[in-house]
Every structure is written in C-alpha cells, then in structure tokens.
Structure 1
Amino acid sequence: MDFAFDARTEELRARLLAFMDAYVYPAEAVAEEQRAALASPWDTPAVVEELKAEARRQGLWNLFLPDAEYGAGLTNLQYAPLAEITGRSPQLAPTALNCAAPDTGNMEVLAQFGDARQKKQWLEPLLAGEIRSAFAMTEPDVASSDATNITTRIERDGDEYVVTGRKWYISGAMNPDCRIFIVMGKTDPGGTDIRRQQSMVLVPRDTPGVTVRRAMRVFGYEDHGHGGHAEVVFDHARVPVSNLIGAEGGGFAIAQARLGPGRIHHCMRLIGMAERAIELMCRRAVSRSAFGQALARQGVVHNWIADARVTVEQLRLLVLKTAWLMDTVGNKGAHTEIQAIKIATPRAVVGIIDRAIQLHGAGGVSQDFPLAELYAAARTLMIADGPDEVHQRSLARQELKKYAS
C-alpha cells in the first residue's frame, strides 16, 4: 500500500504550512484584540480579511471543492491533509481559505443541485468570499437527529413558497455578511414516503418574516470565528418558487449528500486540533516543573503523550482510508467508514484535548490558551451532523445484516 501524498498535495501542504506560520498563528491574538474593539462582536476583524486576501493571492482558496469548475479540483484524499492543517487554528484558518462550514456544504449543494440562476446569484459570491451563508435544518422542538421529524413548513402559494418554522444552532447566521439561508422544511407533510416530504429553498436573510432572534452559545462560547450560531424564526416568509433547490421532495436526499463530505471535513480538522493539543502539551511538559522535576519527566505525562500520538496516527489512517473510498467508490460506498470516523474521531480528540488541559492546570481552562475552545468545538461534534448514537445504530445494523438469515 502506498501511503505517500502525491506531488500536488505535498506542494500545497508546504505552502499551507508556511502560510500558517507566517500569517495565521500570529493573527490569532490580533483577531481577539480587534474583535474587542468592534462595534458588534459579530463584525469581522480586519485581520481576517487580510488573511483571506493573502490566501487567495497564494492560491490557497476553495481547496475543499472537488469540482474543478468552481474549486481547486482536489480529491478528498488530497484535501484531507490540508484540512488537517487548518484544524490547528479552527477559528481562523478555514475562514481564511474560504473553506469554513457551513459555507463549504452550502457551496457544494449549490454546485451540485442549484440551477444556473441560483449559482450566479449565490454560489459565485460565496466562492469569491464576498458573502457568507447558513444552513437551517436543526429545530429546538423536535429530535433533529432524525431529519424526518422537522416541522418547518414550506407551502406553495401561487408563484411563491411560504416558509414557517423555528430553527436553532444555525451556524453562520450571526455574521452580518450572511446573506442567504438554505432552509429545509416540509412541502408534503402527509406524504406516504417520510423521506420525500422535505424540500430545500433559498431564503435571503432580508426576506420579510425572517428574524434572527438570538445567538446560541456553545459551552459558553459565542463562536465568533464561525459567524456564531443563531435561533432563527421564519414567520410566513415568502420566496419565489424558483428558489427551490432541486425538486420538491428532494430535501432529504440533498441533506444526506451535503452531510457526507461535511462529516469527513470535520474529522480532518479534528485531527489538526489534536495535533495542536499535543504540541501544546509537549511544550508545557518541557517548560514547567512540579515537585522537583520537569513535567516531561513524570511518568503519567509520558503515558498521555504516547497515547495521544498513537490515537492520532490511528485516526488519521482511518480518515485517509475514508477519503480514498469516497473518491473511488463514492459516498454511498464509503458509508460505513464515514460513520466510523464520525464516531471515533470527536470522542478520541476530546480525550486528547482533555489531557492537554489537565497538563496546563488553570491555564488550560483559561482564555490564554486555545485548549478550552478546542475542547468545546470537539465535544460539540459528538452531537453535530448526527449524534454518535445515530451513527452507531446505523453502523451496527449494517454489520448485523451480514449475519441475518
């Protein structure tokens, strides 16, 4: 088996690592200082726009999109090590490269399912980094891990759809540059096929009846780097029928097509987060002493670091295998592996970050290190894009089918 990256991946890795060292890591503290001086905490710090301009100048732009017409044309296997690098600074690097969720998934949806007008109006400015977007699926009043439960209505009225419902944890919606929502709701709530009841429509943020009610916190963080997460109310919001994405009843299938790449992208970045935690853990261990000797000489610290390294190497191989399968046999053929990495990666990375926090003591839970924020992000991914238990249930069923009489 050949585990080497190809020439293009190696070249992009070298450029991206240099970009991180020269621009992204130094910008982390600058972004926090600038945000504190902004009129609104949701405004974008100037240094972020500077990073985006530099990334675009260096050709480190839209790396996530495999469609060469719109993106870099990289395979999942080529993109995986690049996404891992951006995961080391998740609040800045993905945005700097125009590779941040939820825009990535929304651009994939528009590229794959949007018509010519939708691509011109919304995909092109998203690809250019001129606007941001949000994906409105999760609802507070139902178990949204089962997408068939959603209650938001998308009702046809002549040449318009009327959208009514309440969504929450809608990532990116607090960002003032968020111009468009992709909203999933039911166009046929009484349909016999529960997976054909849903549709997706494009709802501009300034549509009458759309209210961004409040920011939702994640473990106390407002997550400004991702444009925040919001509760959004759609109160008889009207949009043209031409804003339908794909066909009526196609929303569930589009959501599944969107979430597959999204899940692996999260896992790629999680490995980068784990690597950042290991680096911080090692630097702390060699620079601090307790009870008469360096932390790096404590046996328990050796165990934490060794276990973390073994875990990351295992996870990376599984993620790369999944990426390769997605490239060669498609998302459906890689279904089991996508579920496996979605189960394994967040929980393992949470453990690594937890040990790094422990090694930093009070500093680990403070704002002086990125560990607490990394922990919150990793722990959230045990719920986001389908909680662990949903993936475990589905994966177990697939295994059991092999033994059914």
Structure 2
Amino acid sequence: MDFSFDDRTQELRERLLSFMDEHVYPAESVAEEQRERLDSPWQTPAVVGELKAEARRRGLWNLFLPDAEHGAGLTNLQYAPLAEITGRSPQLAPTALNCAAPDTGNMELLAQFASPEQKKRWLTPLLEGEIRSAFAMTEPEVASSDATNIETRIERHGDEYVISGRKWYISGAMNPDCAIFIVMGKTDPEGSDVRRQQSMVLVPRDTPGVEIRRAMRVYGFEDHHHGGHAEVLFHDVRVPVSNLIGEEGGGFAIAQARLGPGRIHHCMRLIGMAERGIELMCRRAVTRTAFGKPLAQQGAVQQWIADARVAVEQMRLLVLKTAWLMDTVGNRGAHTEIQAIKIAVPRTVTEILDRAIQVHGAAGVSQDFPLAELWTSARSLRMADGPDEVHQRSLARRELKRYA
C-alpha cells in the first residue's frame, strides 16, 4: 500500500486548496448573509452559483465519479485527499464541486444501473449541476436500519407503477432545484426472499400525488446547505413502467451498491471536518486566557489537542486503506474496512468537535463559529447510511465466523 500522492492528485489538491482559500472560506459568511434576504431558507444563495462556476473553470467538477465517461476518472485513493479538503467546509465546498450528497450517490446509482433513456433525462443534468435529486428510502413507521422493513408499495397497474407510502429525512427534498426522487418500495411484499421484495423507481418531483409535507430538523438545524430533509408522502403516485431502475426485485442490491461509496465519501469529508475542528481549537487555545494563563497551557486542553491529532492520523490511514482496497479488490473485498471506518470515524470526529466546542465556551455553540453545525453533521452520520450498531453487528458476525 502506497498512499503518497501521484502527480494528478497533487496537482488537483493544490488547485483545490487555492480554491478553498480564495473563494470557499470567504463565501461562508456571504452565503449566510444572502440567505437571510431570500424568500425561503431553501433557496440557494447566489454565491453558491458563483462558486460552482469558478470550480468548473478550474477543472474541479464531478471529482467523485471514478467513471471517466461521466466524471473525473479518479480512483478512490486519488479522491480521498480531495474529499478531505472539501470536508473543511461541508456546507459549501462539496456543492461547489458538484460532489455533494445525496446527488453523488444518486449519480453513481444512475451511472451504474439506469437505462440510456434514464441517463439522458436525469443523469446528464445532474452531472451538469442543473438540477438536484433525493433518495427516498427511510420511513418513520419502521426501523429503517433494516431496509427489508420498508412499507412503501410500488404496484404495477398496466403500463404504470402506482406508489403509495410515507418517507422522511429525505435529504435534499426541500431544495427547489430537486427535480427527481429515487424511491425505494416493495413490488413483491409477500416474496419468499426478503431481499428481492424491493424495487427502485424514478419519480419526478412534480408528479401528481407527491406531497412535501414538512421539513425535518437535525438537532434543531434546518440543514439548508444540503437542501434540507423532508417528510414526503406519495399518494397513489403514477409513473411509467419505464421509470423502473434495473429490474423488479433489484432495489435492495442497488441500495447496497449505492451505500458503499457513499459511506467512504462521508468518512473522507469527516477527516477534513476534524482537521478544521483541531485548527479552530488550537487558534482559540493560544488566544484565550483563563485563570492566569492561556488555554494552550492548560493540561486538559493540551491532552485534547494531542489525542485529536493521534486520532485523525489513525482515521486517515484507515480511510486510505479502505479506498485502496476498494480500488484493488472491489467494494465487496473492502466490506470489513468500509464498516470499520463507518463505525470509527463519525464517532471519533464527534468527540474531537465536542472538545473544540468546549474550548470555545459559549462561542462554540453559537452561529459565530461553524463548530456546532459541524458537530451536528458528524453526529448525524452515526445514523446515516446505517447506524453504528448495524455495522458493529455485521462486523462482529464476520469476525466470529472465523472461529465457529
């Protein structure tokens, strides 16, 4: 395993670092000011469009897609240090580069499983950044950590599918630019194989019967940077049979294929979030005095900073190893490592950000620093794409098989 940057990664990294310093960080306060003057919190501030145009001009666009036909053609190992940099400003940088969830996972899904007609209608405008999308799987009435529990029905009536169900925490759905939902439901609820009961269909947002009921908050935040999270009802929504993605009964497998890259992308960005937390913690520690000496000279604060640095270096190496395995032996061969980083990284980054908040005192929970929102994002990722406990269960069972 060689984790040194190749020439292309180094060149893109330098270009991205300049973009962050010159455009993204200064735009953070501008975006907040512009948002206060918008008619709706879900509208996109004008500065985001400016960032996207500049990112495209600099060749920093669709870096997440390893498919050279649709994206930059980078390997996971090449993309990892770039995604880490964007994680330092998760509210703006991923969107500016067209590398923000849930669109990234949806584009990967469409690139891999969609028909040529579906790609032309939905993948192309997503790749161009002309529209946004949402992935509708999670439901409030069942434990959605087990995707076989979902209750939404997708029933075939002639040349149409009729979708009925209730979803929530559908990321991006509040964004006015969200034009398409990828909806997971059951086409064969009584099937003997619980992993072949589900299918996925494309549902345009403006289809009759689609109701955006309300925005869901995350620890009190609206999370408008990511287009919000919505509760969505599907009232006998009718779409053509041609809107089926892949085959009937293939929804569970497609979901698993989508989640693998999504999990590592989250962890890549989380490393950047932790780095920003350490930077802010150190800057605060050397500029604030308590009980007659700088916080930087307080033993507890020094221990927090040291532990944070050790943890970040450990996590980065595990994420890079996972990326290397995904590139060399595939997602299935990297299953253990994908689960390991999904368990360890959000938990550890949450702890680092929590201590950074503590060093800032009241300012740490205020809107004057990004720490509270960063903490919220990290803490939420202990549930997104499968909660810790599900991954721990699966990982433990795989380990125990060696001794059975």
TM category (shorter chain) comes to over 0.9
The match for 2:22 is 22
Q: 2:86 and 2:3 mapped to 1: Cα distance? A: 21
Q: 2:155 and 2:58 mapped to 1: Cα distance? A: 46
The match for 2:381 is 381
Given that residues 3 and 320 in structure 2 are in contact (C-alpha distance below 8 angstroms), is that contact kept between their aligned partners in structure 1? Answer: no
Residues 273-312 of structure 1 correspond to what in structure 2 (within 5 A)?
273-312=273-312
1:175 aligns with 2:175: yes
The match for 2:394 is 394
Bigger mean CA deviation after superposition, 221-230 or 289-298: 289-298
What SS is found at the alignment partner of 1:179?
Answer: strand
The match for 1:146 is 146
* Structure 1 residue runs without a partner (length 5+): none
The match for 2:371 is 371
What SS is found at the alignment partner of 2:255?
Answer: helix
Q: Given residue 45 of structure 2, which amino acid in structure 1 is its aligned partner? A: P
Deviations 1:319-364 (A, max 9, x none): 0000000000000000000000000000000000000000000000
What SS is found at the alignment partner of 2:279?
Answer: helix
Aligned residues: 404
Report deviation, 1:301: 1.1
Q: 1:254 and 1:65 mapped to 2: Cα distance? A: 17
Deviations 1:290-311 (A, max 9, x none): 1111111111111010000000
The match for 1:218 is 218
What SS is found at the alignment partner of 2:207?
Answer: coil
Q: 2:386 and 2:394 mapped to 1: Cα distance? A: 11
Given that residues 3 and 77 in structure 2 are in contact (C-alpha distance below 8 angstroms), is that contact kept between their aligned partners in structure 1? Answer: no
What SS is found at the alignment partner of 1:88?
Answer: coil
What SS is found at the alignment partner of 2:343?
Answer: helix
Given that residues 308 and 352 in structure 2 are in contact (C-alpha distance below 8 angstroms), is that contact kept between their aligned partners in structure 1? Answer: yes
Residues 175-214 of structure 1 correspond to what in structure 2 (within 5 A)?
175-214=175-214
The match for 2:45 is 45
The match for 1:109 is 109
Q: Given residue 8 of structure 1, which amino acid in structure 2 is its aligned partner? A: R
The match for 2:267 is 267
The match for 2:161 is 161
The match for 1:318 is 318
Report deviation, 1:193: 0.3
Deviations 1:4-37 (A, max 9, x none): 1111111111000000000000000000000000
Q: Given residue 164 of structure 2, which amino acid in structure 1 is its aligned partner? A: T
Q: Given residue 72 of structure 1, which amino acid in structure 2 is its aligned partner? A: A
Q: 1:377 and 1:156 mapped to 2: Cα distance? A: 38
* Structure 2 residue runs without a partner (length 5+): none
The match for 1:2 is 2
Q: Given residue 170 of structure 1, which amino acid in structure 2 is its aligned partner? A: I
Report deviation, 1:3: 2.9
Given that residues 202 and 243 in structure 2 are in contact (C-alpha distance below 8 angstroms), is that contact kept between their aligned partners in structure 1? Answer: yes
The match for 1:60 is 60
CA-atom RMSD in angstroms: 0.5
Deviations 1:187-221 (A, max 9, x none): 00000000000000000000000001000000000
Report deviation, 1:155: 0.3
TM-score, normalization by structure 1: 0.99
Given that residues 209 and 235 in structure 2 are in contact (C-alpha distance below 8 angstroms), is that contact kept between their aligned partners in structure 1? Answer: yes
Q: Given residue 61 of structure 1, which amino acid in structure 2 is its aligned partner? A: W
1:327 aligns with 2:338: no
TM-score, normalization by structure 2: 1.00
What SS is found at the alignment partner of 1:195?
Answer: helix
Q: 1:274 and 1:83 mapped to 2: Cα distance? A: 13
Q: 1:2 and 1:31 mapped to 2: Cα distance? A: 39
Q: Given residue 95 of structure 2, which amino acid in structure 1 is its aligned partner? A: T
Q: 1:8 and 1:302 mapped to 2: Cα distance? A: 37
Q: Given residue 262 of structure 1, which amino acid in structure 2 is its aligned partner? A: G
Residues 78-93 of structure 1 correspond to what in structure 2 (within 5 A)?
78-93=78-93
The match for 1:94 is 94
What SS is found at the alignment partner of 1:133?
Answer: strand
Q: Given residue 175 of structure 2, which amino acid in structure 1 is its aligned partner? A: N
The match for 2:358 is 358
Q: 2:344 and 2:297 mapped to 1: Cα distance? A: 30
Q: Given residue 225 of structure 2, which amino acid in structure 1 is its aligned partner? A: G
Deviations 1:219-254 (A, max 9, x none): 000001100000000000000000000000000000
Question: How many percent identity over aligned positions?
Answer: 83
Report deviation, 1:2: 2.8
Q: 1:4 and 1:216 mapped to 2: Cα distance? A: 41
Given that residues 136 and 170 in structure 2 are in contact (C-alpha distance below 8 angstroms), is that contact kept between their aligned partners in structure 1? Answer: yes
The match for 2:256 is 256
Q: 2:347 and 2:2 mapped to 1: Cα distance? A: 28
What SS is found at the alignment partner of 2:23?
Answer: helix
Given that residues 213 and 230 in structure 2 are in contact (C-alpha distance below 8 angstroms), is that contact kept between their aligned partners in structure 1? Answer: yes
Q: Given residue 156 of structure 1, which amino acid in structure 2 is its aligned partner? A: R
Q: Given residue 251 of structure 2, which amino acid in structure 1 is its aligned partner? A: G
